[in-house]
Amino acid sequence: MGKPTGFMEYERKTAACIPPLTRIKNFDEFHTPLSEKEQKKQAARCMECGVPFCQAGSELMGRTIGCPLHNLIPEWNDLVYHGNWEQAYKRLKKTNSFPEFTGRVCPALCEHACTCGMFGDPVGGKENELAIIEKAYQMGWASPNPPKTRTGKRIAIVGSGPAGLSAADMLNRRGHEVTVFERSDRVGGLLMYGIPNMKLEKRFIDRKIDVMKAEGITFVTSADVGKDVTPAKLLEEFDSVILACGASNPRDLNAPGRDAAGIYFAVDFLKANTKSLLDSNLTDGKNVSAKGKNVVIVGGGDTGNDCLGTSIRHGCKSVVQLEMMPKPPVERLDTNPWPEWPNVLKTDYGQEEAIAVFGDDPRIYETTVKEFIKDEKGALKAVKIVSLSWKKDEATGRMMMSEIEGSEKELPCELLLIAAGFLGTQQYVADAFGVALDKRTNVASEPGLHETSVPGVFVAGDMHTGQSLVVKAIREGRDVAKEVDERVMGYTNIVIQ
């Protein structure tokens, strides 16, 4: 696909980033797209590899290799190279309901599995994907396309994150009447309030939601199903219900002084910031501000990095990011060969900004909080941290951590953000519907299926699998749509790649 010799002729080139010290002055996206001419060159790098691992979406060593949506990456790379953008858009939309989102926030599983990346730089599949969808909006190809006929079947979807939205998209295309219930004041779930604006500007979510509304999907906001809206009402009025409420129980830190004022879960910090930004450009005083504070972030993943970038934009005095795991290697180890997921050091935008502002990488590895230290008014003033040692347990073979005696030290801290992941679905939703949970507190189903223990009630996304990626949630939504369609119609003609 692409130009047969393209991967030898053209070097990998990605969108330029606005320099850190400039971009931290606002919450806008900070990538400058490549020109159309350059984008064609990048598409030309897609090689005739024979086995396109980029679109495999298979499991290897416990990690996903390639795109879970099975995006037809070699095909649309070839089409972009030859200038056939409209056909590239049609091939992209066959597998991905929301390339305008994944093209911005996906960690690009496709690129990490790219054959071209085995000995060199992988093809820029993620940016090619974004270029295609933005070209489609520019040319009018992504305009509303409502179904020509309706089936008369009604489907309720609880939650408007990526899983709920993709299920709504597929079922509406099929001709069902779809209503999406969202407990927040804006549609988008994790996309709207869990991902900061500089990674995904909310105007792009609104743009797509406007298209979906024009195609016939109904959105009901500020509707907390299980509290404001009863499951009995949904089960009575709709032919089937899909639960797509996410895995929104944050993992806590249990250490002395946890009740100190100034400790927040990352998701609450990020949501308050984005809502205040959209409502008032941060002038209403309803966000949790890091301005002038020493900030400690517990968690080294994407959410921790988002807290880092947000705190820097607020004007924090200092920022430290604690990570329990050891520091990854800069390059692949021999024990981590391609096409396995590369377990290597990643310096994301937030860390880049911290380095630019404060001069040092903010991350401290193999460390955790041992105590929260309060002032006389009960507010957080410092944290006591301790270094960790990892050793393999001979009996179980599992890596176990232990504190290193005498390694404790204090860090000044007036704001601590817990970004340690999520534990599963919120109990009140599961209890309201009476659905069974698995041992990880996710809503249970038969292996490979999505129907819950309650007939006619289905589950998708993080609520089903546990915390995962946007691209995987989209796949979950597409898969559950096919099952729901078959249940309400007795057959299905929804095709999932």
- CA dist 155 and 170 (Å) reads 11
pLDDT given for residue 496 in this prediction: 87
Find tokens 């996906």 and name the residue. 106
Q: Are residues 13 and 135 in the same domain?
A: yes
pLDDT given for residue 1 in this prediction: 59
pLDDT given for residue 399 in this prediction: 85
Largest CA distance in the chain: 71
Mean pLDDT by 10 residues, the chain (497 residues): 86 96 98 96 92 93 93 95 97 97 96 93 96 98 97 98 98 98 97 97 98 98 96 97 95 96 98 98 97 97 96 98 96 92 95 98 97 98 97 85 95 98 92 96 96 98 96 98 98 89
- CA dist 402 and 476 (Å) reads 37
Structural domains of the chain, count: 3
- CA dist 358 and 260 (Å) reads 27
φ and ψ at residue 321, rounded to 5 degrees: -120, 120
Q: Are residues 180 and 81 in the same domain?
A: no
Residues 6+ apart with CB under 8 A from 145: 215
> Which of 159, 122, 165, 147 has the alpha carbon at shortest distance from 10?
122
- Is residue 409 classed as helix, strand or coil in its secondary structure? strand
Q: Are residues 393 and 431 in the same domain?
A: no
The 10 Å CB-count burial string (b at 16+, else e) for 283-294 is eeeebbbbeebb
Half-sphere exposure (CA, 13 Å, Cβ side) for 72?
A: 17
Residues 6+ apart with CB under 8 A from 132: 76, 80, 85, 88, 89, 92, 99
Q: Are residues 292 and 409 in the same domain?
A: yes
Q: Which of 396, 418, 440 is the last residue of a domain?
A: 418
Task: Judge whether 293 lies within some domain.
Answer: yes
pLDDT given for residue 56 in this prediction: 94
- CA dist 351 and 399 (Å) reads 27
pLDDT given for residue 174 in this prediction: 97
Q: Are residues 403 and 285 in the same domain?
A: yes
Distances (CA, A) of 97 to 101, 235, 481: 9, 27, 12
- CA dist 391 and 110 (Å) reads 33
Q: Which of 403, 418, 433 is the last residue of a domain?
A: 418
| Cα first-last separation, the chain | 20
pLDDT, tens digit, for every residue of 272-320?
999 999 999 999 999 999 999 999 999 999 999 999 999 999 999 999 9
pLDDT given for residue 32 in this prediction: 95
Q: Are residues 268 and 396 in the same domain?
A: yes
> Which of 248, 218, 169 has the alpha carbon at shortest distance from 485?
169
Q: Are residues 194 and 228 in the same domain?
A: yes
Q: Are residues 268 and 413 in the same domain?
A: yes
Burial of 374 (C-beta count, 10 Å sphere; 0-12/13-18/19+): middle
Residues 6+ apart with CB under 8 A from 195: 105, 270, 306
Task: Judge whether 258 lies within some domain.
Answer: no
Task: Judge whether 494 lies within some domain.
Answer: no
Q: Are residues 216 and 236 in the same domain?
A: yes
Q: Are residues 159 and 229 in the same domain?
A: yes
CATH of residue 26: 1.10.1060.10
- CA dist 166 and 478 (Å) reads 6
Task: Judge whether 94 lies within some domain.
Answer: yes
Report the run of H or E that residue 387 belongs to, with start and end.
strand 380-392
pTM: 0.96
Task: Judge whether 256 lies within some domain.
Answer: no
pLDDT given for residue 398 in this prediction: 87
CATH of residue 327: 3.50.50.60
- Helix 85-93 / helix 125-139 crossing angle, nearest 10 deg: 110
Q: Within 10 A of 303 (CB to CB), how many other CB atoms are there?
A: 26
Report the run of H or E that residue 412 belongs to, with start and end.
strand 409-412
Q: Tokens in use for 364?
A: 């401290």
Three-point CA angle 344, 346, 350, nearest 5°: 165
Three-point CA angle 345, 107, 161, nearest 5°: 135
Residue 139, amino acid: M
Task: Judge whether 1 lies within some domain.
Answer: no
Q: Are residues 364 and 393 in the same domain?
A: yes
Report the DSSP beta bridge partners of residue 250. 422
pLDDT given for residue 44 in this prediction: 96
The answer to whether residues 484 and 167 touch, using CB atoms and an 8 Å cutoff, is: yes
As a whole number, the mean pLDDT across the chain is 96
Q: Are residues 359 and 308 in the same domain?
A: yes
Task: Judge whether 397 lies within some domain.
Answer: yes
Q: Which of 371, 389, 418 is the last residue of a domain?
A: 418
pLDDT given for residue 204 in this prediction: 98
Task: Judge whether 27 lies within some domain.
Answer: yes
> Which of 98, 91, 63, 77 has the alpha carbon at shortest distance from 7?
77
Residues 6+ apart with CB under 8 A from 169: 97, 98, 212, 217, 477, 481
Burial of 295 (C-beta count, 10 Å sphere; 0-12/13-18/19+): buried
Q: 396-399 long-range contacts, Cβ below 8 Å, gap at least 24?
A: none
Domain span at 19 = 6-139
Parallel/antiparallel/unpaired status of strands 457-459 and 294-298:
unpaired
Q: Tokens in use for 349?
A: 């935008």
pLDDT, tens digit, for every residue of 403-435?
999 999 999 999 999 999 998 899 999 999 999
